[in-house]
Amino acid sequence: MNELFDLVLLGLLVLTALAVARSRDLAGAAILFAAYSLTLCLLWQHRGAPDVALTEAAVGAGVTTFLFLVVIARTSE
């Protein structure tokens, strides 16, 4: 069961990474990046690294996504 969950998370990780790379909308790419970070957070938690998972959630999904969206809003027309 654990291996199946790992494979599902890894598949979701690859899909979100590809979606970010192929996205033409900057705001959409930032939101997809947040989904990528949250998926990675779940993977770290499941693999037994809760400190890394919390850091990924706070920095990767939280702060970085917020900064991306602020920069996009300030530079877009």
d(CA 65, CA 36): 11
Domain total of the chain:
1
Residues of the domain holding 26: 2-75
* Cβ 35 vs Cβ 17: under 8 Å: no
Residue 77: band (very low, low, confident or very high) from pLDDT cuts 50, 70, 90: low
Each residue's pLDDT tens digit, 31-55: 999 999 999 999 999 999 999 999 9
pTM score, whole prediction: 0.87
**pLDDT for 2 beyond 90:** no
Q: Which alpha helices (H) appear in the chain, and where do they start and end?
A: 2-22, 26-46, 50-55, 64-75
Where residue 24 falls among pLDDT bands split at 50, 70, 90? Answer: very high
